[in-house]
Amino acid sequence: MIVVPYCIIRLVIIVIIYTARDRQTYLDDEQLDRAEQFKILKEIFDVNVRDKEIKELSSHFAPIFRDDHPIHLSLIGKTGTGKTVTMLYFLNLLQSLCRKKKLELGYIHLDLSTPKPCFRVLNDLACYLDAAKRYKKGISLDELMSKVEEKLKQYRGYFILFIDEIDHVRRDLDSFLKFLVRRLPQSVSLRLVLVFSSNNLNWQDNIDPRIKSFFKVNEILFDPYNAFDLKKILSIRIKKALNRKMIQKGVVDKIAAVSSRTHGDARKAVELLSKSAQIAEKEGIPITLDLVDRAMEEIERDKYVAMVKSGPKQLQAVLYSIISSASKNTKPLYTGEAYEAYRSFCARIKLRAVTQRAFSDLVSELDMYGFIQARVLSQGRYGRTKQIMVNLPKELIDKLRQVVLMEFDLNVDSKKFDYQVINTSDKY
DNA sequence: TGTCCACAGGAAATACGGGGGT
DNA sequence: ACCCCCGTATTTCCTGTGGACA
């Protein structure tokens, strides 16, 4: 008797959760399939965002329709300025246009968002081409290149190789480019057009001049989005993902304004919107201007947490000991004490402690990331030392401590451990 | 004015680890 | 399977330093 209503309730809950998730996926491209992504892209590009760049791309690839060979292309712009999406969108467009005109055109998008050595990149390329399996080792670069060559020989017409984040080719970018620019065009009959993207304006600077001379590229610059464009992009996302009534007036303007001012990164802007929506949904309130501020703080906080989680163990240990002992007493912390605190923490978690020299570097690193503020201070005959201050909000400190403890697989509530901080106060 | 503290931070040596070549 | 090479992390060793204090 009781089972039936329970089932219904569960079903309702599941439905609610799923519909909510379905809509929210429009705020996160990773969760959408390719067709959906293109649909959104089309809508975005339909409202003339990145219009200038698309025009430039069109004129760059125009020679294709005159049976000519376009030169290579290099897209330059900061992260989140839409290099990849614009190019993919354009390639898709170009391909369908070519199909209509009975021109053969293929393209491959080589995504190097994580740095890879030359070997891996070639291997990936071969995989995309279906020319080889995924190798771990045991096959020479040359052999791999031949395989790619063999495969490409079968193709006719135009072929566009879109290499995303070219500067992520670790080591031997030269031989990779040499292969693409010199060797490949000689041995295959298709017309190869290379498209590179990079967020570094000068990525071509340190490639071999001999290759560079063979290397005629056109450059297209992607400026950071302005508030106007961001607003368009956000509006489209909102239409898809959120209930308009739940958004207070001015919220979109605010997100667009803040984002364009600080980074001009569309991905981050959408992330901010998404975060605001999440908080609003959790609390069952509409998205207000205040909520956007809170979302910004939360994103900031998540950034710190993510940084700690992905950081090396030693850095985590140093951070933990510093924020713990700094929050324990109000007076500023000096290198010596901090090091002692770190040593005892290491003893507790059975981590090999690094020397004070290395410790000092880690402290500087934390300073760079903004976890702490450290400045060198001379106290006359009492020596020179770094004064370490922690200026993070208390919740964040607690959160970070928790995260580090979890990283070390420690019981989170065993906080009673007391640091043996050397008492130096009698010296002053 | 010289001393001396308690480190900073540079340079070189060494350890380490993983990938690539054979 | 083995070795080698290379990039990175860490250690070791070192010199430098601002200013309180005598």
pLDDT at A427: 29
Residue A181: DSSP 8-state: I
Token readout for A428 is 């002053």
Q: What is the pLDDT of residues A189-231, one digit of tens each?
A: 788 888 888 887 777 766 767 777 777 888 888 888 888 888 8
Listed as ranges, the nucleotides of chain C within 7 A of a protein C-beta are 1, 6-7, 9-14, 16-21
pLDDT at A80: 80
The verdict on A117 and A234 lying in the same domain is: no
Identify the residues numbered 337 to 366 in chain A whose C-beta atom is closer than 7 Å to any atom of strand B: 337, 356-357, 360, 363-364
Q: What is the CATH number of the domain that holds A370?
A: 1.10.10.10
Mean pLDDT of A117-143: 69
CA-to-C1' span, A120 to C3 (A): 22
Token readout for A356 is 């004070």
pLDDT at A8: 44
Map tokens 């690094």 to a residue.
Answer: A354
Mean pLDDT of A75-88: 85
Q: Is the pLDDT of residue A97 over 50?
A: yes
CA-to-C1' span, A277 to B17 (A): 44
Which residue, of A178, A194, A222, is where some domain finishes? A222
Mean pLDDT of A136-152: 71
pLDDT category of residue A414 using cuts at 50, 70 and 90 = very low
The verdict on A100 and A216 lying in the same domain is: yes
Does any strand C atom come closer than 7 Å to the Cβ of A137? yes
pLDDT at A384: 92
The verdict on A206 and A233 lying in the same domain is: no
The verdict on A212 and A232 lying in the same domain is: no
Does any strand C atom come closer than 7 Å to the Cβ of A383? yes
Q: Which nucleotide is nearest to A379 (CA to C1')?
A: C19
CA-to-C1' span, A357 to B12 (A): 14
Mean pLDDT of A127-148: 68
pLDDT at A247: 76
pLDDT at A319: 92
The verdict on A218 and A241 lying in the same domain is: no
Which residue, of A222, A257, A292, is where some domain finishes? A222
pLDDT at A387: 92
pLDDT at A225: 87
Q: Between A105 and A7, whose confidence is greater? A: A105
Mean pLDDT of A79-105: 87
Q: To which H or E segment does residue A96 belong?
A: helix A83-100
Map tokens 């070219």 to a residue.
Answer: A166
Does any strand B atom come closer than 7 Å to the Cβ of A427? yes
The verdict on A353 and A402 lying in the same domain is: yes
Q: Is the pLDDT of residue A76 over 50?
A: yes
Give the count of domains, chain A: 3
Neighbours of A226 (CB within 10 A): 14
The verdict on A211 and A235 lying in the same domain is: no
Which residue, of A161, A187, A222, is where some domain finishes? A222
Does any strand B atom come closer than 7 Å to the Cβ of A334? yes
Token readout for A225 is 């989005």
Q: What is the pLDDT of residues A292-333, one digit of tens each?
A: 888 888 888 888 888 888 888 889 999 999 988 888 777 788
Neighbours of A21 (CB within 10 A): 10
Percent of chain A with pLDDT over 90: 10
Asked if residue A17 is part of any domain, the answer here is no
Q: Calculate the average pLDDT of chain A.
A: 78
Q: Closest residue by Cα to the C1' atom of nucleotide C13?
A: A357
Identify the residues numbered 71 to 130 in chain A whose C-beta atom is closer than 7 Å to any atom of strand B: 117, 119-120
Q: Which nucleotide is nearest to A170 (CA to C1')?
A: C7
The verdict on A284 and A416 lying in the same domain is: no
Q: Is the pLDDT of residue A137 over 60?
A: no
The verdict on A94 and A204 lying in the same domain is: yes
pLDDT at A30: 55
Q: What is the CATH number of the domain that holds A275?
A: 1.10.8.60
Q: Which nucleotide is nearest to A378 (CA to C1')?
A: C18
Any residues with CB less than 8 A from the CB of A390 and at least 6 apart, and which? A322, A323, A326, A327, A371, A372, A373, A397
- Between helix A83-100 and helix A34-46 the angle, nearest 10°, is 100
Does any strand B atom come closer than 7 Å to the Cβ of A66? no
pLDDT category of residue A285 using cuts at 50, 70 and 90 = confident
The verdict on A270 and A200 lying in the same domain is: no
CA-to-C1' span, A272 to C7 (A): 37
Give the Cα separation of A49 and A43 in Å (integer).
10
Q: Closest residue by Cα to the C1' atom of nucleotide C9?
A: A358
Q: What is the pLDDT of residues A338-385, one digit of tens each?
A: 999 999 999 888 888 899 999 999 999 999 888 999 999 899 899 999
pLDDT at A31: 56
Q: What is the CATH number of the domain that holds A166?
A: 3.40.50.300
pLDDT at A260: 86
pLDDT category of residue A139 using cuts at 50, 70 and 90 = low
pLDDT at A338: 92
Token readout for A329 is 């007493």
Does any strand B atom come closer than 7 Å to the Cβ of A380? yes
Question: Which residue from A238, A240, A255 is spatially nearest to A291, judged by alpha carbons?
Answer: A255
Q: Between A169 and A275, whose confidence is greater? A: A275
Q: Between A228 and A143, whose confidence is greater? A: A228
Asked if residue A44 is part of any domain, the answer here is no
The verdict on A75 and A141 lying in the same domain is: yes
Q: A194: helix, coil or strand?
A: strand
Neighbours of A235 (CB within 10 A): 16
pLDDT at A140: 65
Does any strand C atom come closer than 7 Å to the Cβ of A358? yes
Any residues with CB less than 8 A from the CB of A236 and at least 6 apart, and which? A40, A43, A44, A47
pLDDT at A321: 92
Q: Between A117 and A69, whose confidence is greater? A: A69
The verdict on A217 and A244 lying in the same domain is: no
Q: Closest residue by Cα to the C1' atom of nucleotide B4?
A: A381
Q: Which nucleotide is nearest to A142 (CA to C1')?
A: B21
Give the Cα separation of A110 and A171 in Å (integer).
17
Can you give the residue range of the structural domain that contains A94? 50-222
Question: Which residue from A135, A144, A138 is spatially nearest to A172, judged by alpha carbons?
Answer: A144
